[in-house]
Structure 1
Amino acid sequence: MKASHDLSGLVKFLSRDDWAFHFEEVMGDHFWPVMDHFDLDHEEINDALGDHWAMTLWGCAFEDFLTQVFDPGGQTFVEAYLKRRSWKESAQSKAYMTALGTSVMSLYEASEIVPGKSFLARDLIRGGEPVLISEGTATKTLRQWERVAARIVPLGGKLIIAGGLLPFSQEASDALLEGFKALPGKRRRSRTQPLLDDEMLRAAAPLFTHAFLFDVLPKALGETRPIIHNSDGDEIVFHEVRFPLATGITRKDIAWRLQGIPQLRQENAQFWNWLDERSQKGPLKARVPNALAAGTTMEDGTPVLGNLELKGRFLTLMVNSAARAARGREMLENVLGKMVGVPLTTIQTIEQMQEARKGRTKEVDDIPLEVATPLVHAMLDKQYREILDQPVGMLGDISPRSAVGTQKGREKVAEWLKYLEFRSASSQNPHDPMTTYDFGWMWRELNIENLRR
């Protein structure tokens, strides 16, 4: 007996009548704009992405095709197939095909992931409460708060995802949502109404393919190096500015004088973060079209412009652009004056830094995970417990404990916690202490566990 997800009968039926012609038109809707933009044919796109994504994207177009009504007869391909071949399919297969025929593609945020079993999906376009999805394969690689485009269909009393699942980066997700806002006839977003209704969303299915491909294809082609800017819009070039301490000046003298700079946040006796208090706080976004945003932020979303470190007889400023190096040098020279000498600046591009790191091997005295993990987790516990009572930029410069006093504030705190969790889980190593840190206690402490969905 064929599996309930087996659509091989439908695929074979494509050769009958004019169905193949209709399917090619749907494939065109999904791929032609991308082919025209990149001047590639369909096979070249498949070669660039590899077999896995080629089949997944074909599946997205095929599932879209199954939802469309065609003349003559005003029926879907699924209806035509089951009318002639239903006797070949099991009851579950027929139920799955019928569900696909009425499904819609949407963008979801994943949470409460149980690898190999299930996850919660929150619809970012139509709104509503998150729904429990039974899924064995995708849940093994999904990350908390990751965004995916998919079709959710009911089957056997459960909700499952169809085969055409696409992971969306933050940039691709933002581009898709902005594209939907520009659609004619779209609704104004509110708490009670979705951005698009099911009929409009069904018609907009090719836009998911477009948004995904315009995000991943340039990287896959590797024709140009991505432009990487910091939060100021400057192209990233690493600068290290070393100030020699003047004769008779101690590190304590320098540390005492640096206390007078409000933009500096001291981490320990030798290290400071230089913060951009003027910037809008929150997840970093590129300020220049077609550029990637990169940088470091504090837990409250404040951008970090650079770092200062006292080591030996030098005060070293480390930043990621020439403009920041000039600003930092001027700031320090105005405050320190003759306490330091003329600085020496060294510069490295991203490529040079990557080359320098290639030959490095793992230190033999690296702290074992079983030792590092509890130490890092204890440090994070202490750090985040203090932050709950401190002003947070993403919350309008009020503390999380104060923000949860209103419904709007609770929603903002939930988004802030999601931002912290997703950033913490971004390491490629699943055993990294930052990745394995459990933020659950913060949700419980703030009594907003019901929003962790």
Structure 2
Amino acid sequence: MPTSHDLKGLMKFLAREEWRDCFDEVFEDHFGPVLEAGEMDFEDIAEILGDNWAMTLWGCAFEDFLTQDFEVEGGNIVDEYLKRRGWKENAQVKAYMQALRTSVMSLYEVSEIVPGKSLIARDLIRGGEPIIVSEGTATKTLKQWDQIAARIVPVLGKNVFAGGLLPFTPTATDALFDGLRQMFGKKNTKKLPAIKDKELRAAASMFTLSWLFDTLERAMGLPSMQNADGDELVFHDVRFPLATGVTQKAIAARVSNIPGMAQENAKFWNWLEQKPKHGAREQTGPSFDATMDNGARVLGNVELKGKFLHLSTNSAERAHMGTILIQQAVGDLVRVPLTEIRTIEQMMAERPLCDGEAPADKIPPEIAEQVVHQFMDRQYRDTLDQPVGMLGNKTPRQAVKSAAGRKKVAEWLKYLENQSSRQPNPADPMATYSFEWMWHELGVIDLRQ
């Protein structure tokens, strides 16, 4: 007995030569840039990521193909199949095929997950009211505030996911949004333009490409995520120890004179691009960079913390260039710098122990949870008054003073919650930590939806 998601008949119909050629065009849109950049075949993707992901990716291309009209007899394969073979299918299958025919791939944030039953999905691209989705499988693995690329289609009174569902990391989301801004003419702002369903439907391959570039990078390091200069995206924190007797005020005066340093406050600067970099390498994958409200690209940040001057940036090349600029400006006021290199995942997962604190697995679970939660309370309370990269290097308390900043703070808090919940053991103190107090403290609890 066929299920409501049974597309076997359509897949057999795909074997007809006219539809095979049309599908090849769509397949190339979804996978061509990745296969070319990695000098691989689609079978290599299956070998690297596994057959299940390969089938899901193929399904993303196939579902996109079902929405398109071509210059062949019948125009659209769903219309032609239902006209010629629809009598073979039951009402649920036909309803599902017709829903896929007009479906749109978008990026959703999920919440209120009921494992095995349902979830709430909020469209991060088109906006609108969140909707309830009936879902049995994905709800068992998805976490609060996860972001997924998917098609939500109505079938006989319920909203369901189509088969091509891809979990997006923040890096993949940044790459996707950057691509959408470039496609629809919003290159110098973080805000997405208003995108109509027809336009978003035409951009379906960007979801596959953004996910694949990000996933392959993490799986095998090829091709790497890049910044706008074509440099590999690797986060660097260069720490310059202040020389004995040197004050922060003396350092600040020198840093403020460095070309491109835009001072945010007494101890913090945004290092801005003065003019486009000549000779930048050709980009082979998605890229992203932070920009100011006026469109100026942020190359990095400089901050005074205690007895150190910190330079933070997202590539080895920029770290090297920034180090030279700072050393030329401050001279012997600082000593030889130390450099720490970290990925986004490492930065979010770090949890140093307090002095004298024992590892969690050496003490009773209930005591470990209490200790970790107390530490996280202190850590995050301090964070409320520190510049945060995801907030444009403003502190959370500064950011919530504007409507746009409040939205960014809500996104940041969701990211913290999501990362904390992704522990292998759901009883881990990190996974059980509640961030609700931060929402109330910052006055954005109304945006926790």
What is the Cα deviation at residue 222 of structure 1? 4.8
What is the Cα deviation at residue 439 of structure 1? 1.6
> 2: distance between equivalents of 1:205 and 1:60?
8
Q: How does 1:222-301 map to 2 (within 5 A)?
A: 222=221, 277-279=268-270
Q: Note if contact 1:110-1:120 (Cα within 8 Å) is conserved in structure 2.
A: yes
Amino acid at match of 1:417: L
Deviation at residue 198 of structure 1 after TM alignment: 0.9
Q: Judge conservation of contact 1:276–1:303 (CA < 8 Å) in 2.
A: no
What letter is aligned with 2:195?
Answer: L
**1:162, distance to aligned residue in structure 2 (A):** 0.8
Range moving further from structure 2, 419-428 or 160-169: 419-428
Flag the structure with larger Rg: 1
Structure-1 residue corresponding to 2:257: none
Partner in structure 2 of residue 197 of structure 1 = 196
TM-score by length of 2: 0.67
In 2 relative to 1, CA 444–306 (structure 1 residues): closer, same or farther, beyond 3 Å? closer
What per-residue deviation string (whole Å, max 9, x for no partner) do you get for residues 9-50 of structure 1? Answer: 221222246222322232222222322232222223332332
Hey, what's the Cα distance between the residues in 2 that align with 1:83 and 1:118?
33
Give 1:203 shift: 1.4
Aligned match of 1:152:
152
Pairwise CA RMSD of aligned residues? 5.2
The aligned residue for residue 86 of structure 1 is 86
One-letter amino acid of the structure 2 residue matched with residue 367 of structure 1: I
Is 2:368 the partner of 1:372?
Answer: yes
Moved more, 419-428 or 15-24: 419-428
Flag as ranges the 4+ runs of structure 1 deviating above 6 A. Answer: 185-191, 223-228, 233-243, 257-263, 287-293, 302-309, 319-324, 343-350, 362-365
Match of 1:22 in 2: 22
Whole-Å separation in 1 of the counterparts to 2:379 and 2:239:
28
Q: Unpaired segments of 5 or more residues in structure 1?
A: 244-253, 264-274, 281-286, 294-301, 310-316, 336-342, 355-361
The reply on whether 1:212 has 2:208 as its aligned counterpart is: no
The residue that corresponds to 2:427 in the other structure is 431
Number of aligned residue pairs = 390
How many Å separate the matches in 1 of 2:399 and 2:206? 37
Once the two structures are superposed, residues 29-73 of structure 1 have per-residue CA deviations (whole angstroms, 9 ceiling, x without a partner) of 222232223222222333233201110111011101111123445
* Percent of paired sites with the same residue: 47
Q: State the Cα distance separating 1:278 from its structure 2 match.
A: 2.9
Partner of 2:439: 443
CA deviations 1:170-209 (Å, max 9, x no partner) are: 2222222222222267899999x95321111111212222
Return the letter of the residue paired with 2:167. Answer: P
CA–CA distance in 2 between the matches of 1:194 and 1:346? 41
Residue 154 of structure 1 deviates from its aligned partner by 1.1
Structure 1 residues 236, 110: closer, same or farther in 2, change over 3 A? Answer: closer
Q: Does the aligned pair in 1 maintain the 2:267–2:304 contact within 8 Å?
A: no
Separation (CA, whole Å) in 1 of partners of 2:56 and 2:422: 24
Verify the 8 A CA contact 2:172 2:210 in the aligned structure 1: yes
Instruction: Report matched runs for 1:255-404 at 5 Å.
Output: 277-279=268-270, 366-381=362-377, 384=380, 390=385, 394=391, 400=397
Shift of 1:223: 6.2
Q: Which residue of 2 aligns with 1:95?
A: 95
